Amino acid sequence: MDDLKLAVSQAPILIVDDNPVNVALLEDVLDEGGYESLYSTTDPTKAVTLARAHCVDLILLDIRMPVMDGFQVMQALTDELKHGLPVLVLTAQNDRETRLRALTGGARDFVTKPFDTEEVLQRVRNLLELRLMLRERENQAEILEQKVHERTLEVREAQYEVIRHLARAGEYRDSDTGRHVERMSLFCQRLASAAGLPPHSCEHILYASQMHDLGKIGIPDSILHKPGKLDAEERRIINQHSAIGAHILRGNSPNPVIRMAHVIARTHHEKWDGSGYPDGLAGPDIPIEGRITAVCDVFDALTMQRPYKPAWSIEDACDLLRKEAGKHFDPHLVELFLEILPDILAIKADMDLGAD
């Protein structure tokens, strides 16, 4: 309560009255009442500027003034009044019409001229206490909202951290992939943006695409780490990683990233011409998340060195994308990928630099 009293005494107050005698009298009354931040004007056209310049918490406002009356001042301060700035009307007119018009215009209370000193002080105190208590409540609400926002971000980051570790579990089985998962997920985010996906979907694919090969957890090491070419049976087994990954991520998860990861895990080896696996989907029947991941996954895999192959040049990798557009890959996504190639190469350079 002592804090409230101090805040009330320090609250900026503006007096607007064309009569200098009234202004001087009110200043004396409020000064004697312990109010420290007083501003005044006899020119109503300056009222709005002063109110905003000093961020006042209360206006004592005369109604009958030349050039600009009190009603017009309140109208000019509509936004401030909507946000709780109280106006204490000073008027020698006590008729019902004036009162109703003032209340409709935004006034919170009245003092009738000639005014009683104690009445003025009490009405000023009441309005300021209410003003400051409401502001404190708003501040507390903002603080609470900020804390909720921060906690939400913490929870979301924790979820993403779990997703990143889950993605690394799949990568761990294929130890030569280096930073492939991180690079291609950034490629996916950039390509998704170029394809016009909404921002939240672009963020989701950044994390969901990292789990595209999660199903490799279920592939035997003898096949996954075989240095030479796979035979037909081994190829059949390793191709099962798409279905295995989708099975791991199955279920109607409330998390949109997990739901997208399920789609990507199952569809990133589908091909535009229908010759892919595991479902033989074709064209736009392949979810766009899977189509985006297919382009980015293959490009990064080609341009990275593996024990069984050297890294392809950027030019050769791009030539393959062009050649396979309309067969393996969505031709429109290939076109977009090549358009954003400078961004892709910048991401790749940053990642490679960070690995040194």
pLDDT of residue 266: 96
pLDDT of residue 149: 77
pLDDT of residue 174: 58
Look up the CATH number of domain 174-355: 1.10.3210.10
State the Cα–Cα distance between residues 337 and 195, nearest whole angstrom: 9
pLDDT of residue 57: 94
**Residues 201 and 251: beta-carbon distance below 8 Å:** no
State the Cα–Cα distance between residues 203 and 46, nearest whole angstrom: 50
| Reduced 3-state DSSP string for 234-252 | HHHHHCCHHHHHHHHCCCC
What are the two backbone dihedrals, phi and then psi, of residue 91, each rounded to the nearest 5 degrees? Answer: -150, 145
Helices (H), the chain: 2-10, 20-32, 47-53, 70-76, 78-82, 96-105, 117-173, 180-194, 199-208, 221-224, 232-238, 241-248, 256-267, 288-302, 314-324, 331-339, 341-355
pLDDT of residue 7: 85
Q: Please state whether beta strands 13-16 and 109-112 pair in parallel, antiparallel, or not at all (unpaired).
A: unpaired
pLDDT of residue 342: 96
The residues of the chain scoring below 70 in pLDDT are 1-2, 152, 155, 158-159, 164-178, 307-308, 354-356
Q: Please state whether beta strands 13-16 and 58-62 pair in parallel, antiparallel, or not at all (unpaired).
A: parallel
**Structure-block tokens of residue 104:** 């409709």
- Domain limits, the chain: 2-143, 174-355
pLDDT of residue 304: 87
State the Cα–Cα distance between residues 293 and 191, nearest whole angstrom: 9
pLDDT 10s digits, 137-155: 888 888 888 888 777 677 6
State the Cα–Cα distance between residues 329 and 333, nearest whole angstrom: 8
**Residues 206 and 188: beta-carbon distance below 8 Å:** yes
State the Cα–Cα distance between residues 91 and 61, nearest whole angstrom: 8
State the Cα–Cα distance between residues 217 and 169, nearest whole angstrom: 7
CA dihedral sign of residues 109, 114, 116, 117: positive
State the Cα–Cα distance between residues 352 and 178, nearest whole angstrom: 10
- Given its phi and psi angles, is residue 283 left (phi above 0), alpha (psi -120 to 50 degrees) or beta? left
Helices 180-194, 117-173: inter-axial angle, 10-degree rounding? 120
pLDDT of residue 173: 57
pLDDT of residue 303: 93
Alpha-carbon dihedral angle through residues 51, 18, 98, 82, given to the nearest 10 degrees: 0
**Structure-block tokens of residue 103:** 């209340």
CATH class (in words) of the domain with range 2-143: alpha beta
pLDDT 10s digits, 30-39: 999 999 999 9
Beta carbons within 8 Å of 55's beta carbon, 6+ residues apart: 12
